[in-house]
């Protein structure tokens, strides 16, 4: 998965180090739909995706991480 959608937020998987930094940005929160946050992933709220450039930046960051993973 590169990105996904949960309710009205974008789900991004960035890896543990990058997601920790991302969580310090406005409109970003842990990806937690079960009571246990998924390490390495975050939710970007709509306010953090108001421009095409913001969306492209999140997709690029997630793709960069996903390409480091071994093939399944």
Does the residue 62 lie in any domain? yes
Does the residue 37 lie in any domain? yes
pLDDT at position 2: 87
Does the residue 72 lie in any domain? no
72: tokens are 């399944």
pLDDT at position 46: 97
Closest CA to 66 of 4, 9, 5, 7: 4
pTM beyond 0.95:
no
**With a cut of 50, which residues of the chain have pLDDT below it?**
none
Tens of pLDDT, residues 9-29: 999 999 988 999 999 999 999
Question: What are 9's strand-pairing partners?
Answer: 6
Q: Report the distance separating Cα 2 and Cα 24, nearest Å.
A: 21
Domain of residue 7 covers 3-66
Domain total for the chain? 1
Report CA-CA distances (Å) from 65 to 13, 34, 39, 47, 49.
7, 24, 13, 23, 19
Does the residue 71 lie in any domain? no
SS3 category, 11: strand
């Amino acid at each position: 998965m590169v990105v996904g959608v949960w309710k009205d937020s974008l789900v991004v998987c960035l890896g543990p180090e990058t997601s920790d930094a991302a969580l310090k940005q406005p409109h970003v929160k842990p990806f937690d739909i079960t009571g246990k946050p998924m390490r390495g992933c975050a939710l970007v709220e709509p306010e953090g995706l108001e421009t095409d450039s913001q969306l492209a930046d999140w997709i690029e960051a997630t793709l960069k991480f996903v390409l480091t993973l071994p093939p399944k």
